[in-house]
Amino acid sequence: MEDLQDIDEYSTADFGRKSSAYNELIGELENEVSQESIELSDFVGRQPAYLTPVMLAWYQDHVEAKRIGALATIDAIFSSIGEKGRTVFLALETDRIEDDRLDRKRTIKKAHIDRNQAAYGRLSALREAMESAEQLYQDKQNDHGGRHPTVPGWWYWLLLGFVGIFEAMINFESFSALNFMTPAIALGSTVVIAIVLALASHLHGTLIKQWSYYFGEHREDIDRFAAHRMWVLGSIALGAVLGSVWYARAAYLAESITEAAIIGGTEPSWLSTVGGSLLLNLAVYIAGVIIAYLSHDRDPSFTDAFLTRAKFQRQYRAAQEKIERANNRQFRRIDAEAEERLKAARAADRVLRNRHRNEYREAERQFKRLVAKDAAVESTLNDYRNKLVAAARGQKLMIKVPAQIRTEDSDVELISPQKFNAKPIRLKYILSHKA
C-alpha cells in the first residue's frame, strides 16, 4: 500500500467557515467586487473552471498542492493493482480524456479561423447585427410588459386567400354575363377584383388595429403619412371593387329588364340584383378586415423588431453552419475517438474491480476521502461566489468566461453575475491536462 500521508494531509485540512483559509478568501471580497470586470478560469487544465482571480489564487495557495499530492497518491494506488499497463484510475482518466477532447477542438477551431479570416469576419458582422436586433426586440418586449407580438404567419395569407376565393365565387357570374367579355377576360377580371378586395381588407384591418400607434398624441405628422397612405390605398381598392361590381350587376340588370319586357315575366329589382351583390361583397370585405385586425399587432414596430431578429438569426445560423461544416467533421472524429477511449477506460475499470475486489475497494475508499474534502472546498468557493454576486447586485460588473470553443471573433463570452452564479464549480481529477 502506498504512503497515505498526502491523502491524510489533504483530507484533514480545514476549509470550513471557521477556518483561517475561509476567512482569508472572504476578506478579498470587497476588493474583487470593486473591479469593472472579472475573467473566470479556463475549462482546460487541472484548475477548476468558473473561478474568479481571487478564487483561483486562493485555490492555488491553500488547496492545489495538497490536493495534487493526494490525487497522485490515489493514482499510484490504482496503478499498483493488477498487471502493469492494464490498470486505470477511472475518474482521473475520464477528466483527462474530456480535457484533451476540448483542447483538440480548440486547436482545430483556432487554425480554421486563422485560415478563413474573411469568412469569419462576415460571420462576426452578422452576429453583431443579430445581437443588435435581439437587444432592440428585448427593449420592445419590455415596453410591452414582456408579451410576445402578434405576427401574421402563413395561415394569415391562407385566410386572405379564402377571402379572395369567396369574392371570386360571388362575382364570376356577373362578369361572365357581360356581352363584351370572353370567358377568359371574365375569369381574369374576377380574379383581379378578388385580389384587390383582399388587399383592401388587409390595409384597412391592419390600420384599424394599429390606429393608436399611428394617430396617438405622441406621433408626429410625418409619422402618420404611412397610415394615411394605407387608408387611401385601401379605400381606392375598395371603391374600385364596389364600382366594378356595381357596373357588372347594373349591366346584368339592364339586360334582364329588356329580356323580361320582350318575352314577359317579372322584372328583377335593383335592390336585389345590384344592392344584394354589393352587400355580399361588403360582407366578404368585412370578414377580411376582421381577419387582418386579429392577425396583426397593435404596434407594427414590435412586429418589425421580431421579424428582423428572426431574419438575422436565420442568416447567422446558415452562415455559421456553412463555415463550420469542415470543423464539425473533425469534431465528430474527435468525439468518436474520445468515446472509444472512455469505453476502453470503463472496461478496464470493470476488469480491475472484478479481479481485484479487495485492493480496488481500498483504493476506492481512499478516493472517497478525497471526494469528501473536494465537496468542502467546492462549498467554500460557492459561498464566496454567492457573496460576490450579492455584493455586485446593482453594479455593472462584467463577468468574462472563456469560450469552450472559440467564437468567430472572441475567446471570451460575457455573462451576467446571475448566470455566473448558476455555473457549476467542480474540482477536476487531472494531474496534467495533456493526455
pLDDT higher than threshold 70 for residue 352: yes
In the three-class reduction of DSSP (H, G, I as helix; E, B as strand; rest coil), residue 398 is classed as strand
pLDDT higher than threshold 70 for residue 266: no
- Average pLDDT (234-263) is 79
CB-count exposure of residue 93 (10 Å: 0-12, 13-18, 19+): buried
pLDDT higher than threshold 70 for residue 86: no
Pairwise CA distance, residues 81 & 359, whole Å: 7
pLDDT higher than threshold 60 for residue 434: no
185 or 291: which leads in pLDDT: 291
pLDDT higher than threshold 90 for residue 81: no
pLDDT higher than threshold 60 for residue 1: no
Rg over alpha carbons for the chain, rounded to the nearest Å, is 37
45 or 395: which leads in pLDDT: 45
pLDDT higher than threshold 80 for residue 2: no
- Average pLDDT (201-222) is 86
In the three-class reduction of DSSP (H, G, I as helix; E, B as strand; rest coil), residue 277 is classed as helix
pLDDT band, residue 163 (cuts 50/70/90): very high
At residue 334, the pLDDT reads 95
Residue 381 half-sphere exposure, CB side, CA atoms within 13 Å? Answer: 29
At residue 342, the pLDDT reads 95
Pairwise CA distance, residues 306 & 103, whole Å: 38
Which H/E stretch holds residue 148?
A: none
At residue 240, the pLDDT reads 93
pLDDT band, residue 8 (cuts 50/70/90): very high
- Average pLDDT (377-403) is 90
82 or 161: which leads in pLDDT: 161
What are the φ and ψ backbone dihedral angles of 401, each rounded to 5 degrees? -115, 130
The model's pLDDT over 414-425, given as tens digits with 9 standing for 90+, comes to: 888 888 999 999
The model's pLDDT over 327-349, given as tens digits with 9 standing for 90+, comes to: 888 999 999 999 999 999 999 99
pLDDT higher than threshold 50 for residue 250: yes
At residue 35, the pLDDT reads 87
At residue 87, the pLDDT reads 66
Give the range among 275-289, 315-329, 403-417 with minimum mean pLDDT. 403-417
Pairwise CA distance, residues 302 & 304, whole Å: 5
At residue 110, the pLDDT reads 86
At residue 116, the pLDDT reads 85
Q: What is the largest CA-CA distance in the chain?
A: 124
User: Are the beta carbons of 348 and 81 closer than 8 angstroms?
Assistant: no
Look up residue 236 and give its amino acid.
I
pLDDT higher than threshold 90 for residue 160: yes
- Average pLDDT (191-214) is 93
Pairwise CA distance, residues 93 & 88, whole Å: 7
Average pLDDT, the chain: 88
At residue 224, the pLDDT reads 82
pLDDT higher than threshold 50 for residue 133: yes
Give the range among 1-5, 203-207, 246-250 with minimum mean pLDDT. 1-5
172 or 311: which leads in pLDDT: 311
> Interhelix angle for 325-355 vs 90-115, to 10°?
170
pLDDT higher than threshold 60 for residue 175: yes
- Average pLDDT (59-71) is 95
At residue 25, the pLDDT reads 96
Per-position DSSP letters for 393-426, written without gaps between them:
TTS--EEEEE-SS--SS-SEEEE-HHHHHHSPP-
pLDDT higher than threshold 90 for residue 64: yes
At residue 435, the pLDDT reads 41
Residues contacting 387, CB < 8 A, separation 6+: 26, 29
268 or 286: which leads in pLDDT: 286
